[in-house]
A and B are shown apart, each in its own frame.
Chain A
Amino acid sequence: MKHTWTTAIGAGAAIAMVASLAACGSGTASGKTELSFFANNTQDLYQPLIDAFEKANPDVKIKFSTTNGAQAGYQQTLQTRISGGKLADVYVAPPEQLSDLVKNHVAKDLTDEPFMDRIGDTNKAQATVDGKVYSMSVTAWSNAYAYNKDLLAKAGYDTIPETWDEFIEMLKKLKDAGVDKPYLEPKAGLGALVEGWIGYDSSKQSKSIDQQIGDGDSTFAKSYTKYYKEWAKLFDAGVMGSEVTGLADDQVRSEFAAGRLAVMPSGYWDVKTFKDAGLNFAFGRMPMLHTGDTPFAPGAADSGYAINAKIDGKKLKAAEAFLDFISSEDGLKILQSSLGLIPATKNYTPDIDETFTEPYDLYLKTGNIYLNTLGWPSTGRSALRAETFSQLQQVALGSISPAQATANLDAKLKTLS
């Protein structure tokens, strides 16, 4: 009798195992098409979007996965999944990796998809490889200067000046007015506004300055030195000290939120933090080098959504429906409210917090945003970006000149090529 029971249990387990394996193979769950989605943010933030999509498409079930709820390591995990043959059906494709994804035939060509008509030109351009669009980027980000209105008023200012020299003058006046820390940048974001200057100068040329460096037509020494010299005026004028080389992003943010810091580079993602702190603040422009220069700021299209090139049939249809939903007005509203991202599509004008209207109008509406890394060779971008901050830290410490910093960047680039 005992033996019979054992046999029965064993047979039951075997049937259950075979059934579950069969379910895996078909990619369906309870008759629904199961669509795997790998993203670079936490499930709680994406859940409203997933719920709304599943409600609108009851025959599709989204299976979400992320990298332990953190942004860091996403690219590495994506790479590992691809090399292990475990790529999701729909995934977030960081622009830095897009050319590699295309090269490895894991991103479907989305150029002629109907939903791509909604996407803005800047976002499309950033997702284009060899004339074809491989990811659907629906949001964008830009830096802006967050400023404490009460502290600025002490020096007689109510907004950020247009030019760099005027800005430094303002910081000096703030210091004279008793503001101990008029301006701070985090150690891993030193010289951020330099990218705005390079973006403007690049807009007047057929090829961006960083693309020229990446292609070997120019060097950091030739192109970047003048910008770094301008940035170093902060230290020459005594309005920012070398202590910034030891300050993390959070520490600078805390100083601002505590009302001790007058100006800091920031972005839309900080709106809630500063509001919660009860500050009288706003976001303003990032000053340009000369009067009349078109305002540009560091920024880029956010990572887009890509479809695994190896899926077909029902899964492909479900993946296309998912991207269509994300780029719809409903999807974009959810993305903005849940993930705090700013939609940058043709079909929807987002409601922007009143504190951020100036940078939104100046940069995101116009597409005047620039990210230097996008022009660099895809291999080693992150290492080179980290190196720019290390070199600027040494400039801040006075241990090297801006010219030496750019020469060192050229040497680093050589080791990465």
Chain B
Amino acid sequence: MTTATVLAAASNRAAALVRALDSDLEAAHAKDRRHRNFMENLTSVQFLLPLLAVYIIIVLIPFAQSIVFSLTDYDGYDFANASFVGLANYRTIFADQTLLAGLGFTMLYTIATTVLITAIALPLAVTLNRKFFGRNFARSLFFFFSVPSMAVLGLVWQYIFSPLGTGAVNTLLGKLGIAPVPWLSDPTLAKGCVIFIAVWVQIGWHATLYLAYLQAIPADLYEQASVDGASRGQQFAHITLPQMVPAMGVSIFMLLTGGLKVYDLPFTLTTGGPGHATYTVTQSIIVTGIGSGRYGVGSALGVMFFLCCVILVALQQVVTNGIEKRLS
């Protein structure tokens, strides 16, 4: 064996050793990375656990309970006495004309408030974003509408929209020689009054939401547009509106879910009347179901309503995402 051969063999062994060492080192690094990732994930999970627990306790478990209740004749006293009734509670719902009336107004309320609030709050936010005397006062004033509870506002507006000649609005109209208007005693006007108050209450809050997004739009975009000769309308259509799509997504999502669940305002203002003109699905769940000791029917209503909400909100998300992609 020559010296060269010995050196070559030693070199090969050394190279193999280095490769083996590299491989071990890489494996050790990979393991370390995996461990680090696992620990990071574990930390994230630990942070999420309290939220997850709250979600499970106050949303998932009650919802699962509702599904179980909806298949029984549970009367709210002792579940051990309840019997399995299959889908009978669901059949009851579809046979109840009151509920269908409630569904009609709930949909009208949701769509009307969503469209009107979005249509008014966006330009309002643009206006409140400009510099003018008393801007902060104006912002506070619009936001203040959303502070009192809907139930309290319903009771107050009951006197303002009283159909008697002594009602606040009718007194004003009377001074102008106009006969009393049956605000809350005419089905169409009563619906209009509920929607009007809901819009009046919520525009300030949603305008504030839009305002926050508006302030995040870079000012140089408008400066460039101005240099290029774009008018205010063109700037709104081509800069503001596309930039506001994510805000609109959030706002519309909240309006849809809030609208579908509406109960306090129509209940305190009109008690769902006249007739069933302003009756809502939530009122039906409370009056026909829970309030009457028919937890089974109430739960079935809740489950059906939840599914409707999920479908509607999913649809809204798809549409909003589509618009966002088209504009981006």
List the interface of chain A (C-beta within 8 A of B). Answer: 75-76, 79-80, 82-83, 97, 100, 103-104, 106, 180-181, 187-188, 242-248, 251, 255, 258, 260, 378-383, 386-387, 389-391, 393-394, 396-397, 399, 408, 411-412, 414-416
A248 to B161, CA, bound (A): 12
Q: How far is the CB of B217 from chain A (nearest CB, A)?
A: 45
Q: Are B158 and A394 in contact (CB under 8 A)?
A: no
B276→A243 contact, CB < 8 A: no
A383 with B291: CB separation less than 8 A: yes
Is the C-beta of B192 less than 8 angstroms from some C-beta in chain A? no
Task: Report Cα–Cα, A79/B81, bound state, in Å.
Answer: 14
**Which positions 274-309 of chain B face chain A at CB distance < 8 Å?**
274-276, 279, 287-288, 290-294
Instruction: Report yes or no: A390 in contact with B158, Cβ–Cβ below 8 A.
Output: no
A to B CB contacts below 8 Å, 13 in the list: A82-B77, A83-B78, A103-B77, A104-B77, A243-B185, A246-B185, A246-B273, A248-B158, A379-B294, A380-B288, A383-B292, A390-B279, A416-B294
Which residues in A have their C-beta under 8 angstroms from that of B292?
Answer: 379-383, 416
The reply to whether A246 and B293 form a contact with Cβ atoms under 8 Å apart is: no
The A-B contact count (CB < 8 A) is 124
The residues of B that contact A387 with a CB separation of less than 8 Å are: 98
Does more than half of chain A's interface fall in helix, strand or loop, or is it mixed? Answer: helix
Which residues on B sit within 8 Å (CB–CB) of A188? 271
Does the CB pair A383–B183 fall under 8 Å? no
Question: Contacts A100-B75, A393-B273, A414-B95 given: A255-B290 contact, CB under 8 Å?
Answer: no
Q: How far is the CA of A324 from the CA of B308 in the complex (A)?
A: 54
Q: Which residues of A contact B186 (CB under 8 A)?
A: 242, 246, 397
Contact in complex: A187, B274 (CB < 8 Å): yes
Interface residue tally of chain B, by bracket?
35 or more
Known: A181-B164, A242-B274, A397-B275. 9 other contacts (CB 8 A): A83-B79, A103-B81, A180-B165, A187-B273, A242-B185, A391-B275, A394-B274, A415-B95, A416-B294
Measured in the bound complex, the distance between the Cα atoms of B312 and A237 in whole Å is: 48
Q: Which residues of B are interface residues toward A (Cβ below 8 A)?
A: 75-79, 81, 92, 95-98, 158-159, 161-166, 180, 182-187, 190, 270-276, 279, 287-288, 290-294
Q: How far is the CA of A97 from the CA of B75 in the complex (A)?
A: 11
Q: B161: which A residues are within 8 A, CB to CB?
A: 246
Bound Cα distance from A399 to B274, whole angstroms: 11
Q: How far is the CA of A260 from the CA of B162 in the complex (A)?
A: 15
Identify which of B96, B163, B293 contacts A379 (C-beta below 8 A): B293
Asked if A412 meets B98 with Cβ closer than 8 Å, knowing A83-B79, A100-B75, A390-B275, the reply is yes
B78 cross-chain contacts in A, Cβ below 8 A: 82-83, 104
Complex: A97 Cα to B291 Cα, angstroms = 11
Q: A100-B77, A412-B98 are in contact. Are A187 and B158 (CB under 8 A)?
A: no
Are A411 and B97 CB-contacts (below 8 A) given A79-B76, A104-B77, A379-B293? Answer: yes
Cβ of B220 to closest chain A Cβ, rounded Å? 55
Contacts of B184 in A (CB 8 A): 245-246
B-side contacts of A379, CB under 8 Å: 75, 292-294
- Determine if A393 and B293 form an interchain contact, defined as CB atoms under 8 angstroms apart: no
A318 to B292, CA, bound (A): 33
Q: 7 nearest interchain CB pairs?
A: A246-B184, A246-B185, A245-B274, A243-B163, A394-B275, A79-B76, A104-B77
Inter-chain CA distance A394–B95, complex, in Å, is 20
